[in-house]
Amino acid sequence: MTARAGEAFDADRAAAEVEELLAAPVRATGPTAAEGDPATGEWTLSTGAGFRIVPLWEGDPLTGVYAPEWNDAEEAAAARLDSLARVLDTRWGPRRTVPLHGPLLRWQGGSPVEPLFEALFAEDLYGDLSVWGPVGSDGAAPGGRWVALTVGHSDADAPMVLAALVSDRPVVEPEGADGPL
């Protein structure tokens, strides 16, 4: 899954990593690519035109897990996202939600979606985005970037993954996102 497997979640550490991500370079153009740990091949980074996506935390595999433990795992992942989002809210103000159901349905139906959304879906990050922006690495908005968090997982046995992204372009739900495929 990701190179973050087995690491304990710490909201302050994750917030520091989001700050580093905010200051990291993004390519203006070029293809989308995912990178993996050289030793394990586990996902470490996705980059594309104007964005970077990184995993911040990976939960335990859900092999053989059913309700109510399944619900507990989902709630724990959502709680981690929310605790990190609260830290970021204190830095950049309240977040807004960008739903991904429209782009996801189009992508699943074989229609093209923006490269950022395609990169999220390629890593099984299907959860709605909590978005701040524009913000700067010093917290200022002029010339800033957009930051987002999401949680997802690929199938019944896969662990939950919390990821962050930075974009030099607005992160918004595409127009017509609820329209027909």
On the question of pLDDT at 21 being above 80, the answer is yes
Calculate the CA 164 to chain-centre distance: 4
pLDDT tens figures, 72-82: 988 999 999 99
On the question of pLDDT at 180 being above 50, the answer is no
CA distance 73 to 62: 8
Res 66: pLDDT = 83
* SS3 state at 77: helix
The larger pLDDT score, comparing residue 158 to residue 20, is at: 20
Contact 144, 48 (CB under 8 A): no
Point out the least confidently predicted range of 98-107, 128-137, 172-181: 172-181
Average pLDDT score over the chain:
90
On the question of pLDDT at 153 being above 60, the answer is yes
On the question of pLDDT at 159 being above 60, the answer is yes
pLDDT tens figures, 22-70: 999 999 999 999 999 999 999 999 999 999 999 999 999 888 888 888 8
On the question of pLDDT at 141 being above 70, the answer is no
* Position 150 confidence tier, pLDDT thresholds 50, 70, 90: very high
The pTM assigned to this predicted structure is 0.91
Res 25: pLDDT = 94
DSSP output for 93-124: ---EEE--HHHHHHHHTT----HHHHHHHHTT
> Which residue intervals of 24-167 are DSSP H helices?
69-92, 101-108, 115-122
Res 179: pLDDT = 45
